[in-house]
């Protein structure tokens, strides 16, 4: 069942992104920013973690999940350490995504050449 919801929810988030580009005439870069901010806000009001429970990778793979992780980490540290957590906790949960993209990006530039 989790596979079906992952497909449907993940696909729906991407479809919303496409509609924002084609109908609302936003650039892809703007849509990405809107999604990541939306993920952070939905995390703050506690909705995004519930969506991840429900749809699994359908919610944790789209870029909205990046906003959720940033906010989730910050809120967790605010709970533990107080206000300073809003700074110290932001990258607590997102290390895997950013670090792996940087490392693989570096390796790709080492071994591969753009084909045009």
Site for another protein in 70-109 (CB under 8 A): 70-71, 73-75, 77-79, 82-83, 85-87, 89-91, 93, 95-98, 100-102, 104-109
1 is a contact residue toward another protein (CB under 8 A): no
69 and 94 in contact (C-beta within 8 Å)?
A: yes
Positive or negative CA dihedral for 44, 23, 6, 62? negative
Least Å from the CB of residue 88 to another protein: 10
Q: Which residue has the tokens 């990258």?
A: 91
The token pair at 106 is 């570096």
Q: Closest approach of Cβ 18 to another protein, in Å?
A: 4
If binding means CB under 8 A, how many residues of this protein chain bind another protein?
80
Taking CB under 8 A as the rule, does residue 8 contact another protein? yes
Exposed, middle or buried: residue 72 (CB in 10 Å: 0-12, 13-18, 19+)?
Answer: buried
Identify residues 39-68 at the interface with another protein (CB under 8 A): 39-41, 43-44, 52, 55-58, 60-63, 65-67
Is 9 an interacting residue with respect to another protein (CB under 8 A)? yes
Rounded to an integer, what distance in angstroms lies between the CA atom of residue 35 and that of residue 75? Answer: 19
């Amino acid at each position: 069942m989790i596979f079906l919801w992952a497909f449907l929810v993940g696909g729906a988030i991407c479809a919303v992104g496409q509609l924002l580009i084609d109908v609302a005439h936003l650039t892809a870069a703007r849509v990405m920013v809107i999604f990541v901010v939306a993920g952070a806000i939905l995390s703050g009001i506690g909705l995004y973690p519930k969506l991840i429970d429900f749809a699994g990778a359908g919610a944790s793979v789209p870029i909205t999940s990046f906003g959720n992780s940033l906010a989730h980490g910050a809120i967790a540290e605010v709970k533990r350490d107080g206000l300073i957590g809003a700074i110290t906790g932001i990258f607590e949960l997102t290390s895997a995504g950013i670090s792996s993209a940087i490392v693989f990006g570096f390796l790709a530039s080492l071994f591969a050449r753009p084909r045009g």
